[in-house]
């Protein structure tokens, strides 16, 4: 109960804001008025006449200039499918999801944990690459997560390599910003967990002892991907993310068993091909015996029929072309 209350502590609300162009015009007028006050104040002070008025104008001009500068941080520009999550002195102030030019409280700060910079070290040479960072706005666009290939065990314990791609977007900015440390990293981690959780429930492929119609990772890839999507959606709901689609981009046996599984598949293919050849050869032999009996071309006893069947099966089922032997004498 406490965990649920903490997760839903902040509800997304509209931040107070006004049109940016009107405030820009007001800021420009304040700046011009401050310049005029400072200039005329200096003139009066230099002429040593009406010093009090000069001091008032100078002080007023300085105050107007400070006010004009104070208003500048409140201007914000949002592009389509972008949002600004604002905080005021550590408190959630509101969210702006409209696109355009706005002015809001200058003390408000934009928060976006997904823009935090991540440093990745390459090898032992000490070279670093900095990823992400710099954007204070939360993107509401559909984005793609290309999850790296990972080795998991299927239902039979065979190690397989599987890779997935996730199409996702932010739907609740407050949950994405305040409920998790970094919603992009959180999504990647949960994607790994969901992939492992679903992949271990099904075999890579059907075996001879399996029932027909059983789901497999290779034969039911779309159904497995839909199950991954549902599982992943449940995991990232607390972060305000919506999973639009999950696709399996790579699926193979791990290198340590790939050769053995390839031999098994080749053996199954050879057996299936031989079975088809034998079925066809038996049908051809039956047809030949029936036509010989119907047309009474030659009368064969059971022993000769057996020899004929044996010879025909050898010819039809052999891997190499048969070498015929012509019998110039009697067959009896």
- What is the pLDDT, as a whole number, of residue 200? 87
Range with the lowest mean pLDDT among 1-15, 175-189, 216-230, 296-310? Answer: 1-15
What mean pLDDT, rounded, does the chain reach?
78
Phi-psi region of 52 (alpha: psi -120 to 50; beta: other; left: phi over 0): alpha
Could you tell me which residue, 213 or 181, shows the higher pLDDT?
Answer: 181
Which tens digits make up the pLDDT trace of 237-273? Answer: 999 999 999 998 888 877 766 565 666 666 666 666 7
Residue 6 has pLDDT above 50, yes or no: no
Q: Where are the alpha helices (DSSP H) in the chain?
A: 2-7, 20-46, 51-71, 173-178, 183-199, 221-236, 255-295, 302-317
Residues 161-186 as b/e (b if ≥16 CB within 10 A, e otherwise) read ebbbbbebebebbbbbbbbbebbbeb
pTM of the model: 0.67
- What is the pLDDT, as a whole number, of residue 28? 92
Percent of the chain whose predicted confidence (pLDDT) is above 90? 22
Residue ranges of domains in the chain: 2-111, 140-253, 263-317
**What secondary structure does DSSP assign to 59-90, as a single string?**
HHHHHHHHHHHHHGGGEEEE-TTEEEEEEETT
- What is the pLDDT, as a whole number, of residue 190? 93
Could you tell me which residue, 195 or 321, shows the higher pLDDT?
Answer: 195
Range with the lowest mean pLDDT among 87-96, 177-186, 295-304? Answer: 295-304
Could you tell me which residue, 23 or 282, shows the higher pLDDT?
Answer: 23
Residue 43 has pLDDT above 90, yes or no: no
- What is the pLDDT, as a whole number, of residue 9? 65
User: What is the architecture of the domain spanning 140-253?
Assistant: 2-Layer Sandwich (3.30)
What average pLDDT does range 282-288 have in this prediction? 76
- What is the pLDDT, as a whole number, of residue 148? 82
Report the C-alpha gap between 251 and 52 in whole angstroms: 84
When pLDDT is cut at 50, 70 and 90, the band that residue 14 belongs to is confident
């Amino acid at each position: 109960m406490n965990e649920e209350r903490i997760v839903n502590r902040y509800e997304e609300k509209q931040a107070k804001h006004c049109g940016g162009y009107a405030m820009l015009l007001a800021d420009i007028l304040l700046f011009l008025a401050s310049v005029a006050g400072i200039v005329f104040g200096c003139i009066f002070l230099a002429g040593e006449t009406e010093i009090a008025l000069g001091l008032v104008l100078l002080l007023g001009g300085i105050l107007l200039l400070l006010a004009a500068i104070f208003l500048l941080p409140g201007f914000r520009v949002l592009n389509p499918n972008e949002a600004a999550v604002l905080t005021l002195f550590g408190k959630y102030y509101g969210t702006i999801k409209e696109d355009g030019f706005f002015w809001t409280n200058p003390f408000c700060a934009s928060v976006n944990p997904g823009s935090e910079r991540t440093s990745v070290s390459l090898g032992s040479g000490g070279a670093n690459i900095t990823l992400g960072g710099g954007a204070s706005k939360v993107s509401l666009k559909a984005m793609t997560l290309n999850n790296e290939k990972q080795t998991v065990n299927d239902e039979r314990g065979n190690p397989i390599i599987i890779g997935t791609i996730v199409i996702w977007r932010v739907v609740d900015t407050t949950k994405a910003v305040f409920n998790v440390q970094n919603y992009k990293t959180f999504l990647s981690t949960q994607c790994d967990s969901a992939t492992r959780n679903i992949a271990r429930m099904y075999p890579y492929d059907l075996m001879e002892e399996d029932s027909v119609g059983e789901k497999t990772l290779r034969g039911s890839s779309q159904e497995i991907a839909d199950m991954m999507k549902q599982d992943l959606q449940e995991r990232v709901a607390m972060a305000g993310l919506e999973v639009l689609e999950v696709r399996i981009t790579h699926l193979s046996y791990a290198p340590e068993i790939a050769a053995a599984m390839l031999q098994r598949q080749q053996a199954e293919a050879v057996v299936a091909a031989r079975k088809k050849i034998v079925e066809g050869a038996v049908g051809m032999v039956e047809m030949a015996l029936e036509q010989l009996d119907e047309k009474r071309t030659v009368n064969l006893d059971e022993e000769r029929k057996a020899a004929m069947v044996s010879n025909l099966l050898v010819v039809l089922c052999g891997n190499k072309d048969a070498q015929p032997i012509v019998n110039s004498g009697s067959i009896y």
